[in-house]
């Protein structure tokens, strides 16, 4: 078991920074496409930690889990974009604050 290029804490720190940049994108932006892209950023932040721990422990279960995360991210992007297209078709704009049909 050879050592990592840098300490494990550096990878976790990078992942945390990327995750919170993604959180800021979801919270602050109003464009649903940019919000979906920020969600992709958060998925990738999780993947960094999975792969870094897999490498640190020399255990490839982390790789498998990162693979599953990529699959879920692909499904999520497809369904999210389909929802954006469906909303745009009926409402002719994609402002997430204007879409309030489900509001009681």
Q: Give, as ranges, the residues between 11 and 50 that touch other proteins (CB under 8 A).
A: 12-14, 16-18, 20-25, 27-34, 36-38, 40-41, 44, 47-48
| C-alpha 85: how far from chain center | 20
Query: Per rule CB under 8 A, is residue 63 in the interface with other proteins?
Result: yes
- Rounded CA separation 59/82 (Å): 37
Q: 11: Cβ–Cβ under 8 A, 6 or more apart, which residues?
A: 4, 48, 49, 52
Query: Per rule CB under 8 A, is residue 51 in the interface with other proteins?
Result: yes
Answer for which of 46, 66, 102, 104 binds other proteins (CB under 8 A) is: 66
Tally of helices (H runs) and strands (E runs) in the chain: 3, 0
Residue (5 or 104) nearer to other proteins, CB? 5
Q: What number of other Cβ atoms are within 10 A of residue 42's Cβ? A: 19
Q: Do you know the residue count of the chain?
A: 104
# binding residues, other proteins (CB under 8 A): 73
Residue (93 or 100) nearer to other proteins, CB? 93
Query: Per rule CB under 8 A, is residue 2 in the interface with other proteins?
Result: yes
Q: What is the nearest approach in angstroms of other proteins to the Cβ of residue 104? A: 23
């Amino acid at each position: 078991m050879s050592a990592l290029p840098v300490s494990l804490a550096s990878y976790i720190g990078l992942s945390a920074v990327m995750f919170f940049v993604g959180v800021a994108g979801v919270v602050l932006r109003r464009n649903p496409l940019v919000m979906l892209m920020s969600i992709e950023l958060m998925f990738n932040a999780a993947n960094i930690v999975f792969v870094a721990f897999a490498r640190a422990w020399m255990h490839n279960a982390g790789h498998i889990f990162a693979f599953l995360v990529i699959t879920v991210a692909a499904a999520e992007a497809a369904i999210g974009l389909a929802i954006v297209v469906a909303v745009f078709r009926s409402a002719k704009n994609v402002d997430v604050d204007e879409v309030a049909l489900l509001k009681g």
